[in-house]
């Protein structure tokens, strides 16, 4: 060794050489070996490398489909439908599949947080003891009538817990709300059902058993009520071993995904749905012969034709089709009900069913089966009821607002001023799993587990002939420092003492669930039964819930329907402008899917657009206005304005424009934020007679902006050769 | 310039320098290759031969091998089930990490030795069911302390055995030499 | 040069093994199959910009076309399109490194990721346009990777990928059946897309078993195979319906 080349240098060199060799062979110990942490104690039912499957309930919407989740070594890998659950029979929708991107979302609320100022970024991490103290203080230090719960649409165990709690302590009864319910106009459906049949139930339409289906705006293959169940119904309408292929006609001003599947798509003038339904009723009654029912006698088909823009021959042909079948079904829904005359539309369309007298018969109209532990239909709050709550907030009558399972700042139209009203509420406590808009405006967020980490049950509101109570259990242990809201409330009530502690005399959420399920333990006609509660709960979790074995759908009492008078008045449209404005719920994202990256990457079924919002415009209209695809336009309503790129859509009326609801988040994680716009910003405070928002009851103006914003679409490989992505 | 360098190299001192350089490169390569084949550092110097000598079957600790794709590393509760009854566990220095892990409830970070790349979908069960013994791939564990790989798991090695075990059965050969059997 | 018609031969008839039957009349285009496929097969999401360039990683997509003009406009029946697992696949002969090979055992078109060097010849030659290429290493921020299916390789940049008919499920079912000493039963397992489909518009099974559900459905007179005239011998049968 020379002096210049020391031993240390040699070792260095040898090390470098070894490392180089290791890199070159690609298998050095460092790169090759990983560390594995085996279980300290192998969980029950688990095996190395083997999947374990757990039954639970999908929480992506309020339908309550049963899931089977495949887990491997404590990780949830894949969701499938629960074959045993009578609601979805082993099937799921896209959102049910992507629920794992919610569970493992990189932007969840990881700890209980205190926000230093509303709307601000700065937060402090709390521990759960302090969090429970905050809730207990909120309960103790305010009058019961100053405390309110705002919850999601799903009629779940937490809603039951809050209801029991409210009943016992005198705090405000929990309000359930969701944008889906608003766009479905659920209150209108149940109100029409009350007016016609004397019972405020949610109707169930047996699409599968029908031969002819007329849908007035009901988007039942997308997000409407219970999409998986209705899709199954649609499949058996089209494809059945026992009957010939059924026909499906859709009446709407903008072709929805559902409308795209129709054999005949009838683009009627918005607002004329009731008139058209009654005219078809009249023509169908004429075609059937016999005395003209009072319900249809006053309507003039010619007038209906001219006002709706449907040719009289088309109306006659449709009426004949409807009259010619003993299994004809008419469904009201969607944008047709979200108009000033929405209730009249619902009633007129429901009345059409009286022609084929399909009430309570296969292929007809039923009342949805009530869940096993339910006495009567409990609909979510209508927009009008939300306004009442908001007014109470404005008046300072609400001091503490607990928010769970809903994101009112995003889901409610801005014009309803939930944001403004919340400033008069001294304490807003959110239990959200994700950092949504409402969390940002809340003083505290005490995150609940994700649905796949939670215990619970959910009543199935509609979609199954059998009464179903879908059961939920954690399929993985909680990933973050979250806690079940039920547990937080129970602990806080105990801490607050007095009537609060008496109202929730439970050790934890599981004990509460057992107390609720106990009455079903030995009930007749149940899918499971057991002698003791622990066995029953084990079955309940294993099977993914409890259901009755026989059909329990109600039969509407329709004796008087045809003898009633129906209003054929057209809808009133608010605002100035030449275009009818039709917002619709994005079939893939719905109200809460925007933070799941794979849902963002699913192409919209009709436009194939991904990751953004667009406005649909008829090609003729676009041509007249000199607008092309991807041109950004400004849409101005009386309530607001927003800028959005145009998608030239061949299946929309020239006087109508349409926008999907689901994007336009200002919070809610990296995949949702600052992406697209929210059409709810354009909606004004207008309601139909049932109190639902007249979301499709507005006229708007369009202005060109001269800007371009390329939309990502699946349908063409645009952009590859520089087409459509602007000149660069 | 090259001429001058060449002239310098062919004189005796130059030749020695060349020899040293060649030797250095050769030994570096040998060292490097040897280095990559070393079994990794384990948190516990687990003596496979001791356990095997006690008659513990492979499948007792790695039962997954007979049931599914992964043989699995046993949970420490399984180690403890026996070891808590062995007096030496309390005193042995070598066993201290196990005792410490169980008592503090921290998982032991083992380093798996026999690994295939992640584009290979390997299933233990099929191999066990086909009559392969553990030692055919993993070597004789009665002779080693910390597990080490007797061979490099490359595709040629896998295929050799696949082809051999198919023998004259054409259908089996098709299945066992199909790319989709392991790569998907 | 004159080519006599009789000399132009379609590929030899080759019995497929696995096949799909897709009823377009009841497919509602709801994208449940697309999401299910993404979750089962570890597909990357590529984000807005790359998906605008047509780089999204859909192993299955739902095509819809327009017919006519307003108001007589019609949406054609939704057409789920995935790898047709051709018996004589145009993608296979063009791969210079044999990464796109035909599986003799399962009669599928395989994509061997570790062989693929990313020439993209196969995608260019696929008449169904069902192959997707990893243009980048797409990011999956923690903890999203927890969801990855351990039975499916996670692909990297520069690798082509496509529908495998959920070959991991095929192997799993075969392995299970073998362990129990029996044959795989028709309907015992299915692909992720077929399992999710709320309308049951996708049916999966053995096309070489005349008793299987796919074979029975496939014999219906209105079934068509796409671009069959190219001699690709696809294993997916479509019912146009409507």
Question: What pLDDT score was predicted for residue C10?
Answer: 46
> Residues near B132 by Cβ (< 8 Å), separated by ≥ 6?
none
pLDDT digits (tens, 9 = 90+) for A355-394: 999 999 999 999 999 999 888 999 999 999 999 999 999 9
Which of C95, C114, C158, C164 best tests the B interface by mutation, with the highest count of B CBs <10 A? C114
The torsion angles phi and psi of A61, rounded to 5 degrees, stand at -140, -175
For residue A401, CA distances in Å to A65, A120, A547, C230 come to 29, 19, 34, 65
For residue C153, CA distances in Å to B156, B162, B183, C111, C194 come to 20, 22, 8, 11, 21
Are the beta carbons of C178 and B126 separated by less than 8 Å? Answer: yes
Sign of CA dihedral A622, A342, A230, A460: positive
State the CATH architecture for A183-367: 3-Layer(aba) Sandwich (3.40)
Rounded Cα gap, residues A249 and A261, in angstroms? 9
Residue A25: which pLDDT band, with cuts at 50, 70 and 90?
Answer: very low
> Residues near C71 by Cβ (< 8 Å), separated by ≥ 6?
A267
Question: What pLDDT score was predicted for residue A719?
Answer: 40
Looking at the complex, does the CB of residue C154 fall below 8 Å from at least one CB of chain A?
no
Q: How far is B10 from chain A (nearest CA, A)?
A: 21
Neighbours of chain A (3+ CB pairs under 8 A): B, C
Per DSSP (E only), the strands in A606-663 are: 609-610, 615-617, 631-636, 641-648, 656-661
- pLDDT above 70 as % of chain C: 93
Count CA atoms closer than 13 A to A465's CA, side-chain side.
16
Looking at the complex, does the CB of residue C216 fall below 8 Å from at least one CB of chain B?
no
Question: What pLDDT score was predicted for residue A718?
Answer: 46
Domain spans of chain B? 2-36
Q: Residue A405 above 60 pLDDT?
A: yes
DSSP state letter for C205 = E
Q: Angle of helix A342-352 relative to helix A186-197, nearest 10 degrees?
A: 50
Looking at the complex, does the CB of residue C194 fall below 8 Å from at least one CB of chain A?
no
Nearest in space to A88 (alpha carbons), one of A104, A67, A69, A102: A67
Rounded Cα gap, residues C202 and C19, in angstroms? 10
Question: What pLDDT score was predicted for residue C7?
Answer: 43
Q: How far is B1 from chain C (nearest CA, A)?
A: 42
Chain B contacts of A41, Cβ < 8 Å? 75-77
Question: What pLDDT score was predicted for residue A12?
Answer: 55
pLDDT digits (tens, 9 = 90+) for A44-75: 777 778 899 999 999 999 999 999 999 998 89
Max intra-chain CA distance, chain B: 77
Neighbours of chain C (3+ CB pairs under 8 A): A, B
Domain spans of chain A? 113-178+380-448+483-505, 183-367, 579-713
DSSP state letter for A463 = S
Looking at the complex, does the CB of residue B175 fall below 8 Å from at least one CB of chain C?
yes
> Residues near A399 by Cβ (< 8 Å), separated by ≥ 6?
A142, A143, A146, A147, A425, A426, A427
Give me Rg for the CA atoms of chain B. Answer: 24
Domain C5-239 = CATH 3.30.70.260: no
Neighbours of chain B (3+ CB pairs under 8 A): A, C
pLDDT digits (tens, 9 = 90+) for A429-487: 999 999 999 999 999 999 999 999 999 999 999 999 999 999 999 999 999 999 999 99
Nearest residue of chain C to residue A719 (CA atoms): C53
Token output for C131 = 């192959």
Question: What pLDDT score was predicted for residue B36?
Answer: 66
More confident residue, A188 or B143: A188
CATH classification number, A579-713, choose in 3.90.320.10, 2.40.40.20, 3.90.1580.10, 2.102.10.10: 2.40.40.20
State the CATH architecture for A113-178+380-448+483-505: 3-Layer(aba) Sandwich (3.40)
Rounded Cα gap, residues B12 and B28, in angstroms? 24
pLDDT digits (tens, 9 = 90+) for A666-697: 999 999 999 999 999 999 999 999 999 999 99
Rounded Cα gap, residues C144 and B169, in angstroms? 44
The three-point CA angle A531-A155-A77 to 5° equals 80
Three-class SS state of B104: helix
Q: How far is C49 from chain A (nearest CA, A)?
A: 7
Are the beta carbons of A17 and B28 separated by less than 8 Å? Answer: yes
Are the beta carbons of B180 and C178 separated by less than 8 Å? Answer: no
Distance of CA A460 to the CA centre of its chain: 14
Do residues A251 and C20 make contact, with C-beta atoms less than 8 angstroms apart? Answer: no
Indicate the residue of B69, B119, B180 with minimum beta-carbon distance to C106: B180
C118-124's contacts with Cβ under 8 Å and 24+ in sequence apart are C118/C158, C118/C159, C118/C160, C119/C95, C120/C160, C121/C94, C121/C95, C121/C96, C122/C91, C122/C92, C122/C94, C122/C95, C122/C160, C123/C91, C123/C160, C124/C94
Q: How far is C77 from chain B (nearest CA, A)?
A: 32
Rounded Cα gap, residues B102 and B119, in angstroms? 35
- Burial bucket for residue A517 (CB in 10 Å: 0-12, 13-18, 19+): buried
Written as one string, the DSSP assignment of A107-119 is S---S-EEESSTT
For residue C184, CA distances in Å to A80, A449, C4 come to 21, 39, 46
Q: How far is A4 from chain B (nearest CA, A)?
A: 15
Considering only residues 196 to 235 of chain C, which have any Cβ-Cβ distance to chain A shorter than 8 Å? 196-201
Task: Note the pTM of the prediction, 2 decimals.
Answer: 0.91
Indicate the residue of C35, C58, C66 with minimum beta-carbon distance to A98: C35
Looking at the complex, does the CB of residue C15 fall below 8 Å from at least one CB of chain B?
no
Q: How far is A716 from chain B (nearest CA, A)?
A: 29
Are the beta carbons of A40 and B76 separated by less than 8 Å? Answer: yes
Q: Angle of helix A157-169 relative to helix A485-496, nearest 10 degrees?
A: 20
Token output for A288 = 């059937």
The complex's ipTM works out to 0.92
């Amino acid at each position: 060794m020379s002096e210049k080349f020391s031993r240390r240098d040699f070792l260095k060199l040898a090390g470098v050489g070894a490392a180089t060799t290791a890199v070159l062979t690609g298998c050095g110990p460092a790169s090759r070996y990983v560390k594995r942490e085996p279980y300290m104690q192998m969980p029950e039912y688990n095996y190395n490398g083997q999947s374990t499957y757990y039954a639970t309930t999908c929480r992506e919407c309020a339908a309550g489909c049963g899931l089977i989740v495949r887990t491997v070594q404590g990780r949830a890998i894949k969701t499938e439908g629960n074959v045993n659950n009578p609601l979805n029979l082993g099937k799921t929708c896209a959102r049910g599949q992507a629920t794992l991107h919610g569970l493992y979302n990189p932007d969840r609320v990881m700890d209980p947080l205190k926000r230093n100022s509303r709307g601000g970024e700065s937060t402090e991490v709390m521990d759960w003891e302090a969090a429970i103290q905050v809730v207990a203080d909120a309960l103790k230090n305010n009058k019961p009538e100053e405390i309110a719960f705002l919850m999601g649409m799903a009629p779940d165990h937490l809603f039951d817990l809050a209801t029991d709690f409210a009943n016992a302590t005198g705090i405000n009864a929990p309000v359930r709300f969701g944008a889906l319910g608003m766009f479905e106009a659920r209150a209108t459906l149940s109100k029409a059902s009350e007016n016609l049949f004397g019972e405020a139930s949610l109707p169930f339409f047996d699409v599968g058993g029908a031969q002819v289906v007329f849908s007035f705006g009901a988007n039942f293959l997308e997000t409407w009520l219970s999409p998986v169940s209705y899709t199954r119904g649609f499949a058996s309408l089209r494809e059945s071993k026992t009957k010939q292929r059924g026909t499906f006609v859709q009446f709407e001003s903008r072709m929805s995904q559902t409308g795209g599947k129709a054999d005949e798509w009838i683009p009627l003038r918005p607002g004329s749905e009731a008139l058209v339904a009654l005219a078809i009723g009249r023509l169908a009654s004429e075609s059937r012969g016999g005395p003209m029912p009072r319900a249809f006698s006053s309507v003039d088909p010619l007038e209906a034709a001219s006002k709706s823009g449907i040719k009289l021959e088309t109306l006659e042909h449709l009426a004949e089709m409807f009259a010619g079948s003993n299994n004809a079904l008419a469904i009201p829904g969607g944008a047709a009900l979200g108009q000033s005359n929405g209730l009249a539309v619902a009633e007129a369309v429901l009345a059409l069913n009286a022609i084929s007298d399909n009430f309570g018969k296969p292929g007809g109209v039923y009342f949805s089966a009530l869940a096993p532990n339910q006495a009567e239909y409990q609909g979510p709050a209508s927009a009008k009821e939300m306004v009442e709550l908001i007014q109470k907030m404005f008046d300072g009558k609400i001091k503490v607002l607990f928010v769970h399972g809903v994101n009112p700042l995003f889901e409610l139209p801005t014009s309803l001023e939930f944001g403004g009203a919340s400033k008069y509420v001294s304490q807003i406590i959110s239990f959200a799993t994700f950092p949504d808009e409402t969390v940002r405006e809340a003083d505290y967020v005490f995150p609940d587990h994700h649905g796949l980490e939670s215990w619970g049950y959910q009543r199935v509101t509609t979609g199954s002939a059998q009464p179903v109570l879908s059961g939920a259990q954690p399929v993985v242990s909680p990933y973050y420092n979250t806690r079940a809201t039920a547990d937080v409330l129970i602990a806080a009530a105990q801490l607050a003492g007095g009537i609060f502690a008496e109202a929730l005399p439970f050790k934890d959420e599981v004990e509460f669930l057992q107390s609720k399920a106990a009455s079903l333990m030995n009930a007749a006609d149940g899918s499971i039964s057991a002698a003791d509660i622990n066995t029953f709960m084990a079955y309940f979790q294993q099977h993914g819930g409890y259901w009755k074995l026989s059909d329990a759908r109600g039969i509407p009492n329709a004796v008087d329907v045809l003898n009633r008078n129906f209003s054929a008045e057209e809808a009133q449209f608010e605002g100035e402008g030449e275009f009818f404005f039709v917002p619709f719920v994005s079939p893939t994202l719905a109200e809460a899917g925007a933070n799941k990256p794979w849902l963002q990457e699913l192409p919209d079924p009709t436009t194939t657009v991904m990751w953004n919002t667009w406005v649909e415009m008829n090609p003729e209209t676009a041509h007249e206005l000199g607008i092309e695809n991807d041109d950004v336009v400004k849409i101005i309503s009386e309530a607001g304005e927003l800028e959005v790129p145009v998608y030239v859509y061949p299946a929309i009326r020239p006087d109508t424009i349409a926008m999907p609801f689901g994007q336009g988040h200002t919070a809610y994680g990296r995949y949702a934020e600052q992406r697209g716009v929210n059409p709810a910003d354009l909606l004004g405070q207008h309601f139909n007679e049932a109190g639902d928002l007249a979301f499709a009851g507005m006229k708007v103006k369009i202005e060109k902006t001269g800007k371009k914003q390329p939309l990502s679409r699946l349908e063409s490989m645009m952009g590859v050769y520089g087409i459509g992505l602007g000149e660069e | 310039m090259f001429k001058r360098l060449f002239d310098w190299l062919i004189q005796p001192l130059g030749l020695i320098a060349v020899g040293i350089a060649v030797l250095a490169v050769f030994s570096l390569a040998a060292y490097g290759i040897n280095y990559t084949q070393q079994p990794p550092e384990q948190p516990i110097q687990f003596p496979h031969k001791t356990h095997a000598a006690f008659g513990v079957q492979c499948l007792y600790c790695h039962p997954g091998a007979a049931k599914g794709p992964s043989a699995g590393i046993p949970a420490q509760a399984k180690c403890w089930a026996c070891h808590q009854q062995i007096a030496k566990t309390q005193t042995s220095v070598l066993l201290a990490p196990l005792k410490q892990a169980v008592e503090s409830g921290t998982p032991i970070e083992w380093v798996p030795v026999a690994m295939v790349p992640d584009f290979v979908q390997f299933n233990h069960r099929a191999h066990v069911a086909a009559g392969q013994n553990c030692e055919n791939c993993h070597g004789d564990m009665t002779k080693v302390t910390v597990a080490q790989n007797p061979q490099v798991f490359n595709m040629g090695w896998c295929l050799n055995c696949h082809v051999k075990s198919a023998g004259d059965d054409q259908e089996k050969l098709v299945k066992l030499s199909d790319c989709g059997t392991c790569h998907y | 040069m004159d080519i006599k018609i009789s000399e132009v031969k379609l590929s030899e008839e080759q019995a497929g093994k696995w096949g799909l039957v897709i009823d377009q009349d009841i497919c509602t285009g709801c994208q449940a199959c697309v999401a299910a496929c993404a979750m089962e097969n570890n597909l990357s999401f590529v984000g807005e910009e790359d998906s605008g360039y047509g780089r999204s990683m859909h192993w299955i997509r739902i095509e819809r076309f327009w017919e006519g003009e307003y108001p007589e406009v019609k949406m054609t029946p939704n057409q789920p399109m995935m790898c047709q697992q051709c018996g004589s696949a145009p993608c296979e002969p063009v791969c210079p490194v044999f990464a796109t090979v035909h599986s003799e055992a399962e009669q599928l078109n395989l994509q061997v990721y570790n062989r693929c060097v990313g020439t993209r010849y196969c995608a260019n030659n696929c008449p169904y346009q069902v192959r997707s290429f990893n243009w980048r290493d797409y990011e999956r921020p923690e903890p999203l990777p927890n969801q990855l299916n351990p039975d499916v390789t996670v692909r990297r940049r520069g690798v082509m990928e496509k529908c495998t008919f959920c070959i991991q499920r095929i192997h799993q079912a075969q392995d299970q059946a073998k362990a129990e000493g029996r044959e795989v039963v028709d309907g015992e397992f299915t692909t992720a897309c077929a399992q999710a489909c709320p309308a049951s518009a996708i049916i999966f099974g053995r096309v070489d078993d005349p008793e299987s559900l796919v074979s029975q459905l496939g014999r219906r007179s209105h079934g068509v195979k796409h671009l069959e005239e190219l001699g690709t011998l696809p294993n997916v049968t479509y019912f146009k319906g409507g």
